[in-house]
Amino acid sequence: MTDNNSSQALKEFISETEEIIEALNLDLMTLSDAVEAGDADPDLVNGIFRGAHSVKGLAGMFGFDDISQLAHRMENLLDSLRLGKVAFSQGLLDTLFYALEQLTRLINGKSTDELFTFDLTQVFDRIEQVLVGDSGTQEDPLQSLEIGNEILNVLTEYEEHRLLENVKKSRNIHLLKIDFDLSSFDQDLAELTQVLKQQGEVISTLPSAGDIGERIAFQILYGSDLERQGIYDLLERDDLNVTTYGDAASDDADDQGFVLETPEPETQEPVSPLMPQTPAESEGSSLRSISRTVRVDIDKLDLLMNIVGELVLSKGAIATISDRLKTEVNNEASADLIKATRSLERRLEELQKGVMDVRMVPIGQLFEKMTRIVRRVSNEQGKKVDLEIRGAETELDKLIIEDVSDPLMHIIRNAIDHGLEAPVERRAEGKPEKGTILLSAAQKGNHVVIEVRDDGRGIDPEYVRRKAIQKGLVAEDQELSPEEIRELLFMPGFSTRDEVSDLSGRGVGMDVVKNNIAELAGMIGLASDIGQGTVVTLTLPITLAIIKALIVRVGSKTYAIPINSVLETLMLEADDISSIEKCEVIELRRTTVPLLRLDQIFGMQEQQESESSEQRLFVAIVGLAEKKMGFVVDELLGQQDVVIKSLGKALSFVKGIAGAAELGNQKTILVLDVAGLMNEAIRSESALHV
């Protein structure tokens, strides 16, 4: 591991352990309040136990044996507390707080020197004193219950402890015998357990012996203040049988709850962590946080980004004024203003980049969520699926990651449901029984490309065409290109499934996915080979906040084209344009690129009729994924940073517009939705062929 990687790993260790310790501090404070109240939530104790266990595991991974050993001792003490082997007292809490202080001191030291350590003998001794000093024998209160050994012998140590605690709280102990339908027992049992927990504690759930055919029986050991009849009334089940053990616990047990007011052992010195310590102990015990990591609400970042956006607009206005002053009044003051404007521009670019970096998160956060989807859907479908992830370190804007999660989930579900074959079918075709879905991400320029690739049956274009004819989407004698057939899959209401399942056949699917991706100024592509598999490609902008845009004029209107979609700009003569099947195209480096006249799209062509057909044309070549198109405009006005503002729901129906932006001269212009315009143009071409 390089020094840089080691330093970064250490920072992550410090950040994560400090977060765990902060949570442990809060939980111990809650536990301390519970001591005074006379009771404690066993789940809280379990949570503190898990926190200590997590610190031990993390320290072990990084080779910090001293941290690992101290966390392990704390874990042992907490485990003894969970199992009722030590008394729950203020002395025990003092020891836990003291151990946590020393743990914090160790981690503080590691942040500046990985070799930092100190003698842990004193804290180890205090933990040992609590463990040994509470090992006296006590009368077993379970004897009066007369619970059979066939039950007691199968209880775990923790379950036996919880049984004892319920007895000490004078709760009634019941054994519920109940059976469920074999096909739905897991869900039915979970629902019944939730009902029981509202009135007591489910101590143990045990399968019941016996051959019962289509049903499965369970025995539930339950502690509650309810009497036997109260349980029948609570559950209202005919197949329920309840056995209650012994009488209610004696009144003497009221003072023997989970919180025991026992005297401190004589061997344990009542040392408080708040008492003055030796110089060796107090050294490094600063309350300052050592982690440089903070968690920030995304709404605060949005507010900051909006402020930066307004500053960018103000900078543009100042630059315009300074340029005008240089032309009209070329003196020393105007030159100084231009220099100051250039300096402001550089600083704003740094600020903008800094805010953007804070918003960026690894796409692996999203990919990891997909593993649960793959596991669940594959189990539901009876298929074996292996999910491979690549490019998880690729970064995207946090809001884009959130908005793309649902479309990506739908694509993966489709890949499992439609794409991958059942194990029997795969074996018959000579494929591995387990199908593979490859989920990958890579940055390409100012875009991130996400691919979902499966090795399934692929898409049969003829089958899709027949389905489209059945649904009346295309004419029976209509000829379609492979690309046009794939576009059918994105039409509203189209589905290749005849039957309706939880996943497919409802006619709501890839069209919604395409619209959601378009709202993110992205594009979706699809490629497939029969018998080999399918690839779905999502092309997304890295961010939707402040963007550079190419400002263009179309007729008397000004528009902005996001620069991350612009590949190049051209100036053409009218005779450079040719026509193929009623569509205007140009030849660009041996590639045919279709043209889209924005004046026609936005209904301005009548303004151009009086102008000469020999005029020169300006073309912005735009591209998303593998598709290219030329937007014909009247003038290129240059590049500028713009902040995209939503048009709101009232204008959400407007096609081809991503939002609005304000220029430095206080003029508001529309920002073009490149993906939407390209999709509309492709659909229009398909309509011409009908």
Any idea which residues carry the catalytic annotation? 53, 75, 414
Return the number of other C-beta atoms located less than 10 Å from residue 656's C-beta: 20
If 0-12 CB within 10 Å is exposed, 13-18 middle and 19+ buried, where does residue 290 land?
A: middle
- Between CA 336 and CA 319 the distance in angstroms is 12
The helix/strand/coil state of 498 is coil
- Taking a C-beta distance cutoff of 8 angstroms, is the pair 564, 625 a contact? no
Residue 541's CB is within 10 A of a number of other CB atoms, namely 23
Strand order in the sheet with 566-572: 566-572, 617-624, 627-633, 591-597, 583-588, 578-580
- Cβ neighbour number for residue 528 with a 10 Å cutoff: 23
Instruction: Return the axis-axis angle of helices 185-197 and 228-235, rounded to nearest 10°.
Output: 130
Instruction: Please provide residue 83's backbone torsions phi and psi, each rounded to the nearest 5 degrees.
Output: -90, 5
Residue found under tokens 């250039």: 342
Nearest to 200 by CA among 143, 238, 162, 149: 162
Would you list the DSSP string of 174-235? Answer: EEEEEEEETTTHHHHHHHHHHHHHTTEEEEEEEEPPS--TTEEEEEEEEEESS-HHHHHHHH
- Give the CA distances from residue 689 to residues 66, 138, 682, in Å, rounded to whole numbers and listed in that order: 75, 90, 11
Residue among 201, 74, 168, 183 at smallest CA distance from 130: 74
What is the rounded CA–CA span in Å between residue 559 and residue 633? 10
Asked if residues 28 and 38 have their Cβ atoms less than 8 Å apart, the reply is: no
DSSP character at residue 307: H
Helices (H), 63-148: 65-82, 90-112, 121-132
Element at 103 (helix H, strand E): helix 90-112
Classified as helix, coil or strand, 266 is coil
Cβ contact 604:554 at 8 Å: yes
Residues making up the chain, counted from first to last: 690
Cα–Cα nearest to 486, from 688, 684, 677, 682? 682
Nearest CA to 290 among 57, 60, 21, 4? Answer: 21
Given CA atoms 234, 236, 238, 239 in this order, what sign does their dihedral have?
negative
Is there a contact between 441 and 390 (Cβ–Cβ < 8 Å)? yes
Is 633 within 8 Å of 553 (Cβ atoms)? Answer: yes
| Dist. CA 396–CA 447, nearest whole Å | 9
DSSP 474: S
- Which residue shows structure tokens 């204008």? 651
Task: Read off φ and ψ for residue 594, nearest 5 degrees.
Answer: -70, 150
CA distance 47 to 1: 34
Q: 637 with 655: CB under 8 angstroms?
A: no
Asked if 273 and 98 count as a contact pair (C-beta separation under 8 A), the reply is yes
Cα–Cα distance, 664 to 658 (Å, whole number): 19
DSSP string, 14-44: HHHHHHHHHHHHHHHHHHHHHHHHT---HHH
183, amino acid identity: S
